[in-house]
Structure 1
Amino acid sequence: MLPLDDCAGISPHIAMVQRDCVRLEWREPYPVLERVRPVAWTCVCRSVIYELCAGAGLGFIRRTVQGEDGHQVLESRSWPLREAQAIWTDLLAGRVR
């Protein structure tokens, strides 16, 4: 089961990071895929929002840090969609960050 808080109950909150979590490499967005769309996302009530983006059989995770001076958007590398979905599940569980 995915972690949910009392917020809106629609989008999940990510779990606390686990001590032995895998670190993803975050980089500036690069338009590898011409058309992508978010297919899953975390709750917008937190300062950091994650989105699972998919297109052309590939997926990646977008990380947006909301700040008073604007937003910083970073993205992971892309994987085959099934692998990206597994990494998304690990992100929600705190096993990946």
Structure 2
Amino acid sequence: MDNSTTTPTVLDECLSPHVAMVQRDHVRLEWRTPYPVLARARVVAWTCFCRTTVYELCESAGQAYIRRTVQFGREHEVHETSIRPINETRAIWTGLLSGRAR
């Protein structure tokens, strides 16, 4: 019996979504240094931590932003989008996951 088709891979064990490859005509997001404007923001969605770059959708008080963390071994670099209304940020989040925004 060939086990190569039944052996789970790391990606099979992931519970969070992965970001699709960036599309040729994608929207370029402006990434900024984090600022503590929404100190009580909740992370409501995130991409899988198995990748070097992890994205988080953060919401608070009717506002939202996306946080990007690039992991370099034990170090990491964090940037965030500007704060926008939740519905607008959720649309950007969907674009990010599908490769239409980066």
Matches within 5 A, 1:29-40: 29-40=34-45
TM-score in terms of structure 1 length: 0.90
Whole-Å Cα distance in 1 between the matches of residues 53 and 44 of structure 2? 17
Residue of structure 2 equivalent to 1:15: 20
Letter in 1 for 2:79: L
Determine which of 52, 73, 76 is the counterpart of 2:81: 76
Deviation >3 Å, runs of 4+:
none
Matches within 5 A, 1:57-72: 57-72=62-77
The structure in which a higher percent of residues are helix is: 2
**Unaligned ranges ≥5, structure 1:** none
SS in 2 for 1:32: helix
Cα displacement (A) at 1:37: 1.2
- Alignment identity in percent? 59
Are 2:71 and 1:92 aligned? no
Q: Which runs of 5+ in 2 are unaligned?
A: 1-9
**In structure 1, what is the Cα distance between the partners aligned to 2:52 and 2:11?**
16
Give the drift of 1:94. 0.2
Per-residue deviation, residues 24-80 of structure 1 (Å, max 9, x unmatched): 000110011131011000000000000000001111000000002500000000110
* Alignment equivalent of 2:32, drawn from 27, 40, 63: 27
Pair member with larger Rg:
2
User: Quick one: distance in 1 between partners of 2:79 and 2:17?
Assistant: 20
Matches within 5 A, 1:44-63: 44-63=49-68
Within 1, Cα distance between the matches of 2:71 and 2:13?
19
